[in-house]
Amino acid sequence: MITRTTGQGRPLVAVHGFGIDHRILLPLERAVTDAPWRWVHLDLPWVRESPGYDPSASSAQDVADAVREAVRAHLGDEPFAIVGNSFGGMVARSVAHELRGQVLGLATIVGVVEPDHARRRVPPRQVVLPDPAVVAAAEPGAARDDFAALSVVQTTATLEAYEQSVLPGLRAADQAVVDRIASDYALRTEPEALHPDPFTAPTLHLFGRQDDVVGYEDGWALRDHYPRATYAVLDAAGHNAHLERPAVAAALFRDWLDRMA
């Protein structure tokens, strides 16, 4: 399941989002290469031709359990931090609570809190900076449709970021595994309910104000459980918030690293 390790220092486990792969979080890694952390990237079970590929995975709980065991196998009892993107944010919350005794901090980037799509509190679809010419420049077909559906800032830079960080993972995914896990998308119990004592390690929860996939209000409802959390809701940012607002996302991420130090 461990796909890539880079850097020196304390381990920082990175868990990507649903239907994509570890490349979605590489821009954050590149933004803080001078920080003393050893990035440990995982690829989740639907990523073909990766150590984590498991065509038998059938639920979100299977994924969370596999990530927890992979972290234990790779790190033993070594202290670590963990960051998760979207679906990976839900998984990261689970791992952080299950292994709380060795977790230095938790970050979620547009993390899933409410697993039921129909119950999520999300804003209406809004493109803050539309540019039909940029959308037209995207590869025709599914790639263009996906970029148009998710982007709220349509610039050459955000298209390039999408093509480098999102599209390769979409193409690497085994759709049958994705669909099977999507049919059982919730953890058995919310981590905060299973482990109700407040999570006191430094935390970052970053959301996009225009994210109509997971929203931000469901995450805010957990605020009392995370007394050391920075909550940030970025304007002009959708479900790829750290790609659309890279400078401010990197600054908040670096602040989280500094707070753990």
**Pairwise CA distance, residues 235 & 244, whole Å:** 10
**What pLDDT was estimated at residue 63?**
97
Which one, of 233, 213, 254, lies nearest residue 90 by Cα? 213
**Are β-strands 80-85 and 103-109 bridged in parallel, bridged antiparallel, or unpaired?**
parallel
The reported pTM is: 0.95
Residue ranges of domains in the chain: 2-123+173-260
**What pLDDT was estimated at residue 3?**
86
CATH fold of the domain at 2-123+173-260: Rossmann fold (3.40.50)
- In which order are the strands placed within the sheet that holds 103-109? 2-6, 37-42, 10-15, 80-85, 103-109, 203-208, 229-234
Tell me the pLDDT of the chain (261 aa) as tens digits.
898 899 999 999 999 999 999 999 999 999 999 999 999 999 999 999 899 899 999 999 999 999 999 999 999 999 999 999 999 999 999 999 999 999 999 999 999 999 999 999 999 999 999 999 999 999 889 899 999 999 999 999 999 999 999 999 999 999 999 999 999 999 999 999 999 999 999 999 999 999 999 999 999 999 999 999 999 999 999 999 999 999 999 999 999 999 998
